[in-house]
Amino acid sequence: SDVTFSVRNLWKIFGKNADKVVGTDLEKADSGAIKAQTGATVAVRDVSFDVRPGEIFVVMGLSGSGKSTLIRCLTRLIEPTSGQILLDGEDVEQASEQRLRELRRRKVAMVFQHFGLLPNRRIIDNVAYGLEIRGVPRAERYERAREMIGMVGLSGHENSRPGQLSGGMQQRVGLARALAVDPQVLLFDEPFSALDPLIRRDMQNEVVRLQKELDKTAVFITHDLQEALKLGDRIAIMRDGELVQVGTPEEVVGRPANAYVADFTSDVARTSVLTARWLMREAFPEEDTDGPS
């Protein structure tokens, strides 16, 4: 199959009237009106997109725009209200519990904002943990864990406890644990937003490096536009549960779909234009690219 995830007309509505809300007339009402009429929260509203193999697909939007809800629906950590999710062409909604567990184990691994490490177990136990619950024999899982710890630059820390490591190092452990199970898709839920800016930049570079090296598909959630532009092969911009644009960084900055995206990206767009002008001046110092001064 040429898509990893295919999401079709996905809705997720929280509240006891959720099932009644997805219908004909409310399709056109805005989320505020639905909330006022029924008390239900429309967290994800009629969202469709495809994630292609090998790409970093970033879901970006302000806090409360529906990003986490969307990513949790992908693995059916929560039930969508309606819509369809295909993982490698297989309908996740139709899968039995057992098949779903198998799909989750074989195909996806998640990296969380607060690392999700077991505090009382060593780094190597934490990295081996996902393999342990998948029934990989002990010797094999520790060998693999050691290899992954090396891959994320933490060799020598195998026997430390999470609390002895900095935030950035702990998130490297989170990354190693996710990579250890060799998933087809990595899901990142704001993994770096608790980190200092410089550490955060290191981790972003690390993700780009590992993703290239290991050829993984990644779905990456962030509220940070700079991070989205840096990491994303394509960016999906969400607003109030809706997907307002899906495109490459160049497209969302250069050809915003509407005023909201334009406003969101205006600082970056301005910086890009200034950089381009500056580069032109450097490259062609004789030509007066700005006209008479």
Could you list the residues that contact ligand ADP (CB under 6 A)? Answer: 14, 41, 43, 61, 63-69
CB of 82 to ligand ADP, least distance (A): 16
Specify the pairing of strand 90-91 against strand 108-111: unpaired
Of 61 and 183, which has the nearer Cβ to ligand ADP?
61
In this structure, the number of other CB atoms found within 10 A of the CB of residue 231 comes to 24
Q: Which amino acid is at 183?
A: P
Of 50, 11, 16, 48, which is closest to residue 29 (Cα–Cα)?
A: 11
Of 5 and 142, which has the nearer Cβ to ligand ADP?
5
Of 110, 96, 108, which is closest to residue 188 (Cα–Cα)?
A: 110
CB of 65 to ligand ADP, least distance (A): 4
CB of 203 to ligand ADP, least distance (A): 19
Of 204 and 222, which has the nearer Cβ to ligand ADP?
222
CB of 71 to ligand ADP, least distance (A): 8
Of 31 and 126, which has the nearer Cβ to ligand ADP?
31
**How far, in Å, are 13, 89, 103 from residue 97 at the CA level?**
22, 17, 10
Of 65 and 82, which has the nearer Cβ to ligand ADP?
65
Cα 27 to its chain centre, rounded Å, is 27
Helix 167-180 vs helix 138-151: crossing angle, to nearest 10: 130
* Distance in angstroms (rounded) separating the CA atoms of residues 82 and 95: 15
* Distance in angstroms (rounded) separating the CA atoms of residues 278 and 272: 10
CB of 236 to ligand ADP, least distance (A): 12
